[in-house]
Amino acid sequence: MRLGSIDFGATGYAVMAIVNRTPDSFFDRGATYTDAAALDRVAQVVSEGASIVDIGGVKAGYGPTVDVAEELRRTVPFVAEVRSRFPSVVISVDTWRSEVARAACLAGADLLNDTWAGADPALAEVAAEFSVGLVCSHTGGLPPRTDPHRVAYSDVMASVVEGTLSLASRAVSVGVRPDGILLDPTHDFGKNTWQSLEISRRLDELVATGYAVLVALSNKKFVGETLDLPEPSDRLAGTLAVTALAAWQGARVFRAHQVPETLQVLDMIASVRGDRPPIAARRGLY
């Protein structure tokens, strides 16, 4: 996996910190909508150990219309400023629009986080043109910013594998680097809670494709519904539990609101797997 200037090798993982340039984010309620607050947030998450910063200008779910011009205004100058201040961080832009993707790449983006499964097919061509990474996601055919309603699959994980591999294959065919492609099963998007839980326990099937896998689990509705926690701020423990499960099965990138807690989970899983030595192993040795 190679994103921006960082080569993560065959097993390395990364935390993708969320920085929403929206006034109506489900989790932070617009806490990083202003430039100053957003830049403070980037500085914080980089100091906490995030390798990737994911910048989005449109709320994923229902809400006021955000046209291309407004999305550009919210994201592109900010991407340029982050690139200037943090030259080594991997900058991801959460967009499904090729116009925004192109402008973001010109401003210094390294990864296009397309959470709406190729709704704009030209996004892959932009990734190829700029030799940046691309997230291939699964939404069950839903258009952007819509919620699932009585969605059904004969086999949800088979649909995830087929859909993301199809997008990855097309991306490679137009010139996107295979080591820059991430597959995202896209919990909650086009899925009910039962289906998100199923793809969580069967994530190894997506990992087995050979592509790096990204999971965006942080404080999502399927966690809240599973534990009956309506407030997103109460969902950290549940998020970390499913994060550990995903890490054990081989996911590589973890999109998260709470960076230090997520990194501790990933470090612990890596140590249990034998990929990372404990930092201070003294017990029983002295």
> In sequence order, what DSSP letters do the residues of 88-136 get, joined into one string?
TSEEEEE-S-HHHHHHHHHHT--EEE-TTTTSSTHHHHHHHHHT-EEEE
Q: What is the mean pLDDT of residues 140-149?
A: 93
pLDDT tens digits for 1-51?
Answer: 999 999 999 889 999 999 999 998 888 888 999 999 999 999 999 999 999
Task: With respect to residue 282, please indicate whether it lies within any of the assigned structural domains.
Answer: no
Structural tokens at position 45: 């998450």
Q: Is residue 211 part of a domain?
A: yes
| DSSP letter, residue 275 | S
Extract the tokens encoding 106.
């010109």
List the structure tokens of 77: 């100058």
Catalytic residue among 41, 202, 220, 252: 220
Q: Write down the mean pLDDT value for the chain.
A: 96
Distance from C-alpha of 246 to C-alpha of 225, rounded to nearest angstrom: 19
Task: Give pLDDT tens digits for 208-217.
Answer: 999 999 999 9
Question: Domain for residue 197, yes or no?
Answer: yes
What's the pLDDT tens digit per position in 221-253? Answer: 999 999 999 999 999 999 999 999 999 999 999
Radius of gyration of the chain (CA): 18
What is the 3-class SS of 195-251, one letter each residue? HHHHHHHCCHHHHCCCCEEEEECCCCHHHHHHHCCCCHHHCHHHHHHHHHHHHHHCC
Exposure b/e, 19-40, CB count within 10 A at least 16 = b: bbbbebbebbeeebbeeeebbe
Helices 98-107/68-85 angle, 10° precision: 20
**Count of structural domains, the chain:** 1
Is residue 220 annotated as a catalytic residue, yes or no? yes
Of 41, 221, 252, 255, catalytic = 255
Give pLDDT, residue 74: 97
Q: Is residue 285 part of a domain?
A: no
Spatial separation of the C-alpha atoms in residues 48 and 147, rounded to whole Å: 33
Q: pLDDT, tens digit, for every residue of 68-117? A: 999 999 999 999 999 999 999 999 999 999 999 999 999 999 999 999 99
255 noted as active-site residue: yes
Q: Is residue 85 part of a domain?
A: yes
**For residue 174, pLDDT beyond 90:** yes
The upper half-sphere exposure of residue 169, i.e. CA atoms within 13 Å in the direction of its Cβ, equals 7
Q: What angle do CA 266, 131, 97 make, to 5 degrees?
A: 85
Which residues make Cβ contacts (< 8 Å) with residue 139, sequence separation at least 6? 115, 116, 117, 186, 189, 190
Q: How confident is the model at residue 61 (pLDDT cuts 50, 70, 90)?
A: confident
DSSP letter at 59?
-
Dihedral, CA of residue 106, residue 176, residue 1 and residue 198, to nearest 10 = 110
CATH code assigned at 219: 3.20.20.20
pTM of the model: 0.96
Is 185 contained in some domain?
A: yes
Residue ranges making up the domain that contains 59 = 2-273
Closest to 56 measured CA to CA, from 119, 101, 107, 2: 101
How far apart, in whole angstroms, are the C-alpha atoms of residue 278 and residue 286? 16
Is 283 part of any domain?
Answer: no
166 domain-assigned: yes
Q: Once rounded to an integer, what is the mean pLDDT over residues 58-62?
A: 91
Joined together, the tokens standing for residue 124 give 């892959």
